[in-house]
Structures are given as C-alpha cells and as structure tokens.
Amino acid sequence: MGGQRQGAQPWSKNGLVSHAQPPFASCFHPFGTYHQTMLNPFAFLNPSELPTMFDKASISSHSILLQAAGLFALADLPTVAARTAVTGTASFLDIFLLAPGMHRQQAVDDINHGEFPTTGAMTTGYVFRVENPATVSYLQAIGRTGHLVTAHVHPNPSSDEQLSYLNRHLQSFFVAGVPATLFYIVGPVLTGVVVALMGVIRDFWGLGVLGLFMLSRLINVGIIKRRSSKGWKGIPEPGEEGDLLILLSQDRWIRLQGSVDDLKTVTAGQWLRDRTMVEGFAISFATLLVYAAVILAFNASTVGSLMIACLLLCSSALLGLCNTFTSCLQMFDCIVRMEGEPIKYERRLYMANEMIEKSGRSDWAIGMGLIVPKNPTGPVNV
C-alpha cells in the first residue's frame, strides 16, 4: 500500500527493521531497551540488575505509591483489646507488638458487649451477676447455644511456691499454650527486624513512625498495668469449694467450678479500676501519637512505607492467631479453663433439674427464674 512492500513492518523502511524503538517497545521490558530485549530475551534475568528492583528510588520511579500505608494503624480492629482481656493485663513485651487498633486498647472495658449474666451459687443459693468484662468475654467465647459448658478456675503456676523461680515463670509464660506463645513472640521479633532494615536503608522518617507507635503502646501498657491491680474481692474463705451456674445470652449455660476464693477473683469486684484524670490525659495523648505517626508516615520512603504496612498486617494476623489458640483466661493469679465437652440439652428445664439434683437445693434456680417455686404464694429469699 502506497509503495510499501508487502509484509514490511509499519516502522521500517524498505522492509528492513529499523533500530528506532516503536511506540510500545517499552512494554516488553521495564529495565532494558527494545533492541536489547530482541537480541537477548533473558536480559531481565541479569543478576546484577535484580538489586535495583528493591531499591528505594527504583520502586518510586515505577509510580508505586505506598505513602498512605500508615493508615492501616487506624483500623479499629479488636485484636489488641482482645489480647488484653484474655491475659487480664498487659506485658511490656506488648510495646513491640504493633498492630492496627493499638490506640483502642483502653476500650477493653466494653469487650463483653454490655452483657452481665445472671449467676447462681449452687452451694449457697445466692444469685448475683458477673460484672468482670474479661471473664464474661471468655465465657461468651467458650459457650454454645443449648449446651452446658463446664469450666474450672485454677491458681496460676506463678503463685505456686513449691516450684522453683525459673519453673514458675516458664509455666506461667506458656500457660496459654505453646502455639499461642510462639505466635505472640514472633510479633516483637518481626518489629525488631523491620527497625533494623529501616536503619540499613537510613529511612529516619520510618524509624520515627515506629518510635511514635511504640511510645503510644508504652503509655497504654503502663496504664493497663496500673488499672488492673487486684482490689476488693470480699472476705477470704480458705478451703471452701464453689459451684456457679452462669446464664449467658442466646441460651448459653456455663458451670464454673473452683475454690470460693478463686471464683471471687475472676467474678467479684472490679477488674480495671476507673481512670484517673491524669490517666485520661495520657490515654488521649497516646491516641494522638498514633494519628501523628500516620501523618508522618507520608514522609517515609516507599520501601519504608511498604515495610510499615507489612509489619502492621503481619502483626495483626499473628495477634489474631495468638488469641484464637489461647485456650484459657488469665485473671490476676488465677486461670479459667474449659474442661470436658459441652453437654447438649433439649430444654433448659432439663438442665436446671439436673443441676438441682446435683446441688441438692433449688433456691438458686428459683431466684434465677429457671423453675417455678412449689408454693408460688410463699416468700422467695434471694
């Protein structure tokens, strides 16, 4: 057509391929020229060019924008608060566990979703409510609709004077289970690796972002440890055994057994005391630090932003797995753990009658509204 030889390339003259690159030549190879690619199809596999793929300038030059990766930290995930509830306190190792939702750790007060279940003491007949949010949250997790779940309260190995100092702390460290403990340890180690890599590439803005995250975590951990001090738990009753029946929402029934003093530790009194004015200001400051870190993260390099995003996402996943594999609740110097398999009942009345038969008394069941008293006109003492 128009004097052009049939079969000639559109960008050639006289049917001979020109060395000038066609408009789409750069699509074939992001690092080499079209001529180099045609002569050597494997030119992109040159090992000397691979390190440039991970260089800060190289990634930025390809328009990969990750400066907003710090926004992951503002995700309102419950993993940090759930970790605080299942351990009953906070550890200074938590400072190096940077996960989304870290600024919401003090919201652990609402971990029970506002539920305070009715509880009957089958040994004494008293009826009351469990108002410890962490205990209620754990019971909600192990409860099943239409089933009776049995749990037992044990002393924490850290309070066993018969064990050596090292053995007490080792057993206390792995009391949640080996898988949960290993997942938990990987989080701070991953943070240390990211800090080291930030130092290698001299991304000081990225280091500043991580430093602000850690400072915020330090403030929250310190306040949680202050608020979780063991307070009023009633008069001690050494040697007495207790047996509680707890009615959760959605027809979930929990039987909690153990010594009376241990049962009081996990159900009575206050878990986290009210914040003081100074603690309230400190919590607000820690929250603002997280927001400030997110703003400063826009100044970090692209590689640094990528590492911050990966750190936040991986830490969140590890902490979620840790919470999932944690099989017990730690509360002060006690441990609550489920025992046996849940028992299914066709009717709640069947479960109540069986518990009445085992306890030898029915006043607690009447007070909880499980059964109707034989003499409806008579007084009911609760």
What's the pLDDT score for residue 38? Answer: 42
Kind and range of the H or E run holding 120? strand 118-121
Average confidence (pLDDT) over 106-133? 93
Residue 374 in domain = no
| Residue at token pair 């085992």 | 358
Whether residues 36 and 91 fall in one domain: no
The average confidence (pLDDT) of the chain is 83
What confidence category does residue 42 fall into, taking pLDDT thresholds of 50, 70 and 90? Answer: very low
| CB neighbour list of residue 235: distance below 8 Å, 6 or more residues apart | none
Average confidence (pLDDT) over 217-245? 92
Whether residues 42 and 74 fall in one domain: no
CA–centroid distance for 313 within its chain: 12
pLDDT, tens digit (0-9, with 9 covering 90-100), for 147-158: 999 999 999 877
Whether residues 44 and 178 fall in one domain: no
Helical ranges in 178-325 per DSSP H: 178-200, 204-227, 260-267, 277-296, 302-325
Question: CB of 271 within 8 A of CB of 228?
Answer: yes
Residue 232, pLDDT above cutoff 90:
no
Residue 266, pLDDT above cutoff 90:
yes
Q: Could you tell me the residue range of the domain that residue 246 belongs to?
A: 68-344
Whether residues 120 and 49 fall in one domain: no
Residue 52, pLDDT above cutoff 70:
no
Residue 257, pLDDT above cutoff 80:
yes
Residue 361 in domain = no
| Helices 302-325 & 79-87 angle (0-180, nearest 10) | 40
Whether residues 252 and 137 fall in one domain: yes
Residue 280, pLDDT above cutoff 60:
yes
Average confidence (pLDDT) over 319-333? 93
Residue 334, pLDDT above cutoff 90:
yes
Taking residue 28's Cβ as centre, other Cβ atoms within 10 Å add up to 16
Residue 336, pLDDT above cutoff 50:
yes
Whether residues 33 and 156 fall in one domain: no
Q: How many domains does the chain have?
A: 2
What's the Cα-to-Cα distance from 100 to each of 20, 216, 310, rounded to whole Å? 51, 12, 11
Whether residues 30 and 147 fall in one domain: no
What confidence category does residue 62 fall into, taking pLDDT thresholds of 50, 70 and 90? Answer: very low
Residue 168, pLDDT above cutoff 70:
no
What's the pLDDT score for residue 377? Answer: 59
Whether residues 44 and 192 fall in one domain: no
Whether residues 137 and 198 fall in one domain: yes
Average confidence (pLDDT) over 245-273? 94
Three-state secondary structure call for residue 88: coil
- What are the strands of the beta sheet with 334-344, ordered from one edge? 127-129, 118-121, 241-248, 252-259, 147-155, 334-344, 328-331
Whether residues 42 and 109 fall in one domain: no
Question: CB of 339 within 8 A of CB of 152?
Answer: yes
